[in-house]
Amino acid sequence: MLQHAGQPARCLVRPGDKVQEGMLIGKAEGASSANVHSSIPGIVTRVSEVPGADGIASVAALIEFGGEFDRTGKPSAATEWEKLPRAELLGRIRSCGVVGLGGGLLPTHLKLAPGAERRTVFLVANGIECEPSLHADVSLMREKSRQVVAGMRICQRILEATRMVLAISESSREELEPLFREASGKDELEIVALSGRYPQGHEDLVRKAILSRDSLSNGGAAGGGAGTCIILNVATLYAVFEAVVMQRPLIERYVTVTGSAVRRPGVLKVRIGTRLGDLFEECGGLMEPPGKVVVGGPMRGISVASLDFPVTKGVAGVMAFTRAEARPGFALPCIRCGACVEACPWELVPTRLNKLVERGDVTTALAEGLSSCTECGCCAYACPSRIPLVDTLRRGKRLGAVGDHG
Amino acid sequence: MADSTPLTVSPAPHVGGLISSARLNWSLALSLLPASAWGVFLFGFPALQVLAVAAATALVADAAASLAWGRAVLRDGSAAVTGLLIGMLMPPAVPLYVPAAASAFGIIVVKQSFGGLGRNWMNPALGGVVFALFSWADAATRWLPARGTPAGTAAAPLAALRSALAGGAQPTGGVLSALGARGYPWSSLDGRVVSWVNVHVLSAVGLSLPGGVFDLLVGNIPGRIGDVSVPLLMLGAAFLLARRVIRWQVPVAYLASFLVAAQVFGGLPMGRGWFAGAALFQLFCGSVVLGAFFMATDPVTSPLTRGGRVAYGICLGLLTFLLRYFGTPGFGVPLAILLGNCISPLLDKIARPRAASPRKAVVQ
């Protein structure tokens, strides 16, 4: 019931209940929350509190498959959304449980809700993978370019956005640009190719890149400075299309299945709630017992203790590493080489923040920008001494948050 | 699927560590080998002995001190690099207890007593060398003659120039002419090469080179074991830069500020006026190239940030110039870098990048 940023949804089912595909089983509660739907038809066998991959427990319903898929495989009539009022569009997005699928997991209706004062709004579709070695977004764009563009038009209408921008990585430009040119028809869609180098896919970095690019080409006057960018992941836009046009709730998503222990890595369309182990089976199984299984990508993903964890809305990839790769590293003393400083996209000095947090001086660390850390993992990746910088900084951020409240 | 093996659970990122500290240190050691080998070729067996004693003492001292302080004995190669650098900074005919004392002091006092790898505020190699050569001052000038020069009293070109100037020489044609006029012994090969170039190439344009150019260029001069061959040091430095073991900011800032200062002000003490210093001569003698690429770049004792590194390099260049002209003979580079070590934390503090906060930046 917690697959989004905010409060968990309230579970509506009890053991023994019969559910249908796409039925509402969790109702959004509170200011920031999202609906949850059953991804398969069947009988609820158990409702209990289970830990998520991130360690935060929430209520989950175990559903045993049974009965018929009454939506899948049957054409549903496309609605002519252009005639619907904006409130209805937003309502459909909310009731279908659409959340930011790039990793932020913010309920999408909140992101699209009318803000106070907006002058120039850019709607940016983020088609840059959130992590290296994942390609779920590119696969989606390859297969569903029309639907993604339709999702953009819907959001454009809701936001009254003046411009629509699609940000893709340089490496996928050649393949995707013609598809989207065709899908968008007219010239209103701007396609911007950015470096695909991690962590470029991060929302703030995409925004920074688009705005600085814009202020360069416009001489800083016309749009750039005054603009607001609303950035939505392409998978989210696809979910918006499904919700508004097809009235289908968010019950499936594209997931990259990869890692060196996987026999046939690839991208799968997965129903939310599927066991991780089943994803690997679908990809030819594992070549050896895995040493580590990660939900998410190699840089920010969370390692899990069991293959029984379910795929949730935020899972863009799952990875299985061999035992040799999973061996824990041995941290050496910091030699102040500065590799972490060069790697940090937010221009922090990670080794210094690390020392401050270890010393217990979170206040100074916060003053030096600790809260800007997005835990992208670049510093720890670059560190020749293999110091677990991200882990310490994350701890520091938590300590800082606790200090704020108490 | 049966979960027969427990899965490792650890914090992200789950990949990385492609470049290890050990690999950085062994690359550094490898890059120093050509210049060390040249020193051995030039000065013979004594030089090899000095290098071996310095490196061996450093390794033993590091292991012993780590054990004594209850730390893990690291096999990351950092002690080997310290020992090799100490050997390279020794004059070839130095008594063997001097490099041994330098290595022991550098490792035990400068490095381990401050907490071991990464915690020393002073470069261990330079600390050890300065300690030993100040303690046995006469050992600091135990030069050996270069190849093809007469045996007997050999003096490094900088020291010879200093004594020539102290003797009241007024160099009119340039530093090399001044040295030549005092009968500085260049090699016979140098004489042949320079006169051939003068006759066959430069006579056409009405120029001529003074004796010593060839010897200086290839490093066939008396000097410290590892600092004589500038081309081979540059080769090692290029390797390190290409492998991103060292970054360009410190050496470029260091050499540029040193060369500018030497060219602009270097002529003044010799009574030759502004802009008349022999910057290139200064580059090819003494340890400035060795220092700029291999010791000033020591990550532990230099600033972390790019801006700090550039400022650090500039400070080192200016300090080296001042100490070379006005300081203790033979200690310009080592003392400049040690002084730089002292201000490195300060530079880091001044040049720390302002943490970008893009979230705030876009909120209107």
Residues A85 and A234 in one domain: yes
What is the number of alpha carbons within 13 Å of residue A399 lying toward its C-beta? 18
Closest partner CB to B355 (pick from A228, A321, A346): A346
Residues A298 and A360 in one domain: no
Q: What is the pLDDT of residue A222?
A: 42
Closest partner CB to A306 (pick from B3, B304, B305): B3
Alpha-carbon gap, residue A294 to A300, rounded angstroms: 9
Range B335-355 average pLDDT: 87
Report, in angstroms and rounded to the nearest whole number, the Rg of chain B calculated over CA atoms.
Answer: 23
Residues A176 and A239 in one domain: yes
The residue ranges of chain A whose pLDDT is under 50 are 116, 219-226, 405-406
Alpha-carbon gap, residue A52 to A313, rounded angstroms: 12
Q: What is the pLDDT of residue A119?
A: 58
Edge-first strand listing for the sheet containing A18-19: A18-19, A42-51, A57-65
Is A320 within the bounds of a domain? yes
The single-letter DSSP state of residue B225 is: T
Tokens standing for residue A227: 């603009």
Range B274-302 average pLDDT: 91
B20–A384 CB contact, under 8 Å? yes
Q: What is the pLDDT of residue A209?
A: 84
Q: What is the pLDDT of residue B156?
A: 83
Alpha-carbon gap, residue A109 to A100, rounded angstroms: 10
For residue A296, what is the domain's CATH number?
A: 3.10.20.600
* A121 lies within 8 A of chain B by CB: no
Asked whether the CA dihedral A63, A64, A70, A73 is positive or negative, the reply is positive
Closest partner CB to A377 (pick from B12, B119, B354): B12
Average pLDDT, chain B: 88
Is A20 within the bounds of a domain? yes
pLDDT at B298 exceeding the cut of 90: yes
Residues A44 and A126 in one domain: no
Residues in chain B with CB shorter than 8 Å from the CB of A346 are 355-358
> What's chain A's length in residues?
406
Q: Who's near B37: CB < 8 A, 6+ residues apart? A: B232
Chain mean position to CA A176:
20
Q: Which residue of A has its CA nearest to B357?
A: A372
Is A2 within the bounds of a domain? no
In SS3 terms, A197-262 reads as CCCCCCHHHHHHHHHHHHHHHCCCCCCHHHEEEEEEEHHHHHHHHHHHCCCCCCCEEEEEEECCCE
Query: Which of B254, B246, B300 has the alpha carbon at shortest distance from B125?
Result: B300
* A208 lies within 8 A of chain B by CB: yes
8 Å CB contact between B157 and B285: yes
**Does a cis peptide bond (omega within 30 degrees of 0) precede residue B303?**
no
The single-letter DSSP state of residue B42 is: H
Residues A240 and A94 in one domain: yes
B300–A335 CB contact, under 8 Å? yes
Q: Could you tell me the pLDDT band of residue B358, with boundaries at 50, 70 and 90?
A: very low
What is the residue whose two structure tokens read 């994803």?
A279
Range B62-77 average pLDDT: 91
Alpha-carbon gap, residue A259 to A257, rounded angstroms: 7
Query: Which of B241, B329, B251 has the alpha carbon at shortest distance from B290?
Result: B251
Characterize the bridge pairing of strands A120-126 and A163-169.
parallel
| A:B CB pairs within 8 Å | 170
Q: Who's near A51: CB < 8 A, 6+ residues apart? A: A57
Query: Which of A271, A262, A27 has the alpha carbon at shortest distance from A133?
Result: A262
Q: Which residue of A has its CA nearest to B16?
A: A381
Give this prediction's pTM: 0.85
Is A190 within the bounds of a domain? yes
Q: Which residue of B has its CA nearest to A204?
A: B358
Tokens standing for residue A118: 């907006």
B10–A292 CB contact, under 8 Å? yes
What is the residue whose two structure tokens read 């607001």?
A228
Q: What is the pLDDT of residue A120?
A: 62
Asked whether the CA dihedral A35, A36, A41, A45 is positive or negative, the reply is negative
Q: Who's near A50: CB < 8 A, 6+ residues apart? A: A57, A58, A59, A60
Edge-first strand listing for the sheet containing A252-258: A266-271, A252-258, A317-321, A292-295, A302-304
* A287 lies within 8 A of chain B by CB: no
Asked whether the CA dihedral A311, A316, A321, A325 is positive or negative, the reply is negative
Q: What is the pLDDT of residue A163?
A: 83
Query: Which of B190, B101, B104 has the alpha carbon at shortest distance from B145?
Result: B190
Q: Could you tell me the pLDDT band of residue B170, with boundaries at 50, 70 and 90?
A: low
* A223 lies within 8 A of chain B by CB: no
Find the DSSP H helices in B8-166: 21-43, 45-68, 78-88, 97-104, 124-135, 157-166
Q: What is the pLDDT of residue B52?
A: 97
Could you list the residue range(s) of the whole structural domain that residue A44 is in? Answer: 10-65
Cβ atoms within 10 Å of A226's Cβ, excluding its own: 11
Characterize the bridge pairing of strands A317-321 and A292-295.
antiparallel
Chain A residues 294-313 with CB within 8 Å of chain B: 294, 296, 298-307
What is the residue whose two structure tokens read 């001097």?
B98
Query: Which of B260, B356, B302, B348 has the alpha carbon at shortest distance from A371?
Result: B356
In Å, the largest CA–CA distance within chain B is 90
How far separated are the first and last CA of chain B, in Å rounded? 53
**Does a cis peptide bond (omega within 30 degrees of 0) precede residue B13?**
yes
Chain A residues 33-62 with CB within 8 Å of chain B: none
Query: Which of A186, A185, A166 has the alpha carbon at shortest distance from A176?
Result: A166
What is the residue whose two structure tokens read 């090692």?
B236
Alpha-carbon gap, residue B152 to B143, rounded angstroms: 10
Residues A190 and A116 in one domain: yes
pLDDT digits (tens, 9 = 90+) for A165-180: 899 998 888 889 888 8
Alpha-carbon gap, residue A153 to A96, rounded angstroms: 18
Is A75 within the bounds of a domain? no
Q: What is the pLDDT of residue A6?
A: 83
Return the percentage of chain B with pLDDT > 90, whole number. 55
pLDDT at B357 exceeding the cut of 50: no
8 Å CB contact between B3 and A307: yes
Asked whether the CA dihedral A265, A270, A273, A275 is positive or negative, the reply is negative
Question: Looking at the 3D structure of chain A, how many domains does it have?
Answer: 4
Chain A residues 123-182 with CB within 8 Å of chain B: none
A377–B13 CB contact, under 8 Å? yes
Residues A86 and A111 in one domain: yes
Is A76 within the bounds of a domain? no
Tokens standing for residue A151: 């999702």
Considering only A15-29, B164-178, B240-254, which range has the smallest mean pLDDT?
Answer: B164-178
Residue B210 corresponds to which amino acid? P
- Minimal CA separation from B89 to chain A, in Å: 23
Residues A304 and A279 in one domain: yes
What is the residue whose two structure tokens read 């992941």?
A233
Residues in chain A with CB shorter than 8 Å from the CB of B245 are none
H/E stretch holding A87 reads helix A86-95
pLDDT at B14 exceeding the cut of 50: yes
pLDDT at B102 exceeding the cut of 70: yes
Is A73 within the bounds of a domain? no
Closest partner CB to B118 (pick from A293, A323, A334): A334
Alpha-carbon gap, residue B130 to B134, rounded angstroms: 6
Query: Which of B341, B232, B11 has the alpha carbon at shortest distance from A296?
Result: B11
Alpha-carbon gap, residue B249 to A283, rounded angstroms: 48
Is A188 within the bounds of a domain? yes
Residues A240 and A145 in one domain: yes
Characterize the bridge pairing of strands A36-37 and A24-27.
antiparallel
Alpha-carbon gap, residue B237 to B28, rounded angstroms: 9
8 Å CB contact between A21 and A69: yes
The single-letter DSSP state of residue A369 is: T
Closest partner CB to A380 (pick from B13, B116, B354): B13
Return the percentage of chain B with pLDDT > 70, whole number. 93
Q: Who's near B21: CB < 8 A, 6+ residues apart? A: A332, A335, A337, A384, A385, B76, B78
Residues A191 and A284 in one domain: no
Mutation target vs B (from A131, A231, A281, A385; most B CBs, 10 A cutoff) = A385
Residues A100 and A234 in one domain: yes
Chain mean position to CA B349:
26
Residues A101 and A175 in one domain: yes
Range B233-252 average pLDDT: 95
Mutual angle of helices A86-95 and A234-244, in 10-degree steps: 110
Chain B residues 174-213 with CB within 8 Å of chain A: none
- Minimal CA separation from A306 to chain B, in Å: 7
For residue A180, what is the domain's CATH number?
A: 3.40.50.11540
pLDDT digits (tens, 9 = 90+) for A241-261: 999 998 889 999 999 999 989
Range B64-93 average pLDDT: 93
